Amino acid sequence: MPALKELEEAYLHSQKDREFQRELVHLRKTYIGRPTSLYFAKRLTERLGGAKIYLKREDLAHTGAHKINNAVGQVLLAKKMGKKRVIAETGAGQHGVATATGAALLGLECEIYMGTEDMKRQSLNVFRMRLLGAKVTEVATGSKTLKDAINDALRDWTTNVRSTHYVLGTVFGPHPFPVMVRDFQSIIGREAKKQILEAEGRLPDCLIACVGGGSNAMGLFYEFLNDDVKMIGVEAGGKGIESGEHAARFAGGSIGVFQGCKSYLLQDDDGNVLGTHSVSAGLDYASIGPEHPFLRDTGRVEYSYATDDEALNAFELLSKTEGILPALESAHAVAEVAKRAPEFASDKIIVVNLSGRGDKDVQHVARIKGIEL
């Protein structure tokens, strides 16, 4: 608790601290490469035959995913707080890579916790983190995925709380993390709004983003919450809801209290957390950032899911029609667009958050297709 209070105070202070904000803006521009472009996907639009589809290209941010927005923000904050060391959990490896990058940039020691299962699926990212000077620690307990990595990162944080800041990678966990991560990610929506107004002279009709913990979706949605814009969050449907092998918390979960917050959770009747499955490690998580249930229960945001097969098809669809390999996480959002776009008239506009690039998934997709590289 004292660590969370200390963090909350430091974060609130940084919001008003001109020097901190100036430094963050400068790093966003010169290091992360912001603003990322808003790209009109002409061939995909023609192919699907409905709404005009724009892609918010977070895959073009440094390190290849939106995760860097939050990681650089938090590592900068950690440095201002006088911490010598940062730790993080990672599922797909993107947040681990982003945190390792931020730590290298600002000269802090870095340790990343990653489930054994995820290390296998994302061996390339494991090597990337090590190249960036981070220590990658394997988590072999529980389901050996993201939730177990968070458990071990939290255990590390309680042990080394005086010297260490925990860079939580999504809009989850105890306050102030959900708020802080959302704020660092909301640059996505602010840019997208400005860019779509420039390109089309009006707001989009619909926003679509995939939802694991939910940070890229919150990042895109937040700026538009008070506008007349439909929003859809896409969870991982895995092998289908009936199969029990998925990570669709809204479709298959109930309210629980887990890892410091109250939200929807995949759990059994005794309150134990269930194992999850998704083809994409970044969506393979049993709970969801607590602001999403709020947005869902108030009817502001609609949530659906895409199965592994749908995501894999979307992965190939975007690669072939636009020359963009999406991360398998982002491919879930593309799968939803493939379903929805034809339902819209051709003068309607959909903005999709292309949260990351798919290079990290190439080996995994090859394995699924039975191709030896």
Partner 1 sequence: MTRIGKAFKRLKKDGGKAFIPYIMAGDPSLETTKETVLMLEQCGADIVELGVPFSDPLADGPTIQRAAERALKNNVTLRKIIAFVKDIRSSTHIPLILMTYFNPVFKYGSERFIRDASDANVDGLIIPDLPPDEAADFIKHARKANLDTIFLLAPTSTEDRIRIVAKASRGFIYYVSITGTTGSGLLFDGSMERLISEIKGCTDTPIAVGFGVSTPEDAAAVAKVADGVIVGSAIVKKLHETPDTLKDYVISLRQAIR
Which of the following is catalytic: 67, 83, 193, 360?
A: 67
Interacting residues with partner 1 between 122 and 161 (CB under 8 A):
141-142, 147-148, 151, 154-155, 158-161
Q: Binding string, 252-271, against partner 1, x = CB under 8 A?
A: ----xxxxx----x-x-xxx
Let me know if 67 is a catalytic residue. yes
Judged by CB under 8 A, the number of residues near partner 1 is 27
Taking residues 157 to 196 in sequence order and writing x for each that binds partner 1 by CB under 8 A, - otherwise, the string is -xxxxx----------------------------------
Q: Which DSSP string corresponds to 137-199?
A: EEE-STTSSHHHHHHHHHHHHHHSTTTEEE---SS-SSTTHHHHHHHHHTHHHHHHHHHHHHH
Respond yes or no: is residue 37 known to be catalytic: no
Nearest distance, CB of residue 287 and partner 1, angstroms: 10
What is the closest distance, in whole angstroms, from the C-beta atom of residue 164 to partner 1 in the complex?
10
Give, for 330, the enclosing helix (H) or strand (E): helix 328-340
Residue 225 binds partner 1 (CB under 8 A): no
User: Is the bond preceding residue 176 a cis peptide, omega within 30 degrees?
Assistant: yes
Residue 296, classed as helix, strand or coil, is helix
Residue 82 binds partner 1, judged by CB under 8 A = no
Tell me which of 2, 201, 299, 323 binds partner 1, using CB under 8 A: 2
Give the C-alpha separation, 373 to 361, whole Å.
13
Largest Cα separation within the chain, whole Å, is 56
First to last CA, the chain: 48
Confirm or reject binding of residue 26 to partner 1 (CB under 8 A): no
| Catalytic-residue membership of 355 | yes
Residue 356's nearest CA partner among 327, 325, 315 is 327
Rounded to a whole number of angstroms, the minimum distance from the CB of residue 268 to partner 1 is 9
Give me the residues that bind partner 1 (CB under 8 A), please. 1-3, 141-142, 147-148, 151, 154-155, 158-162, 256-260, 265, 267, 269-273
Q: Which residues are the active-site residues? A: 67, 89, 355
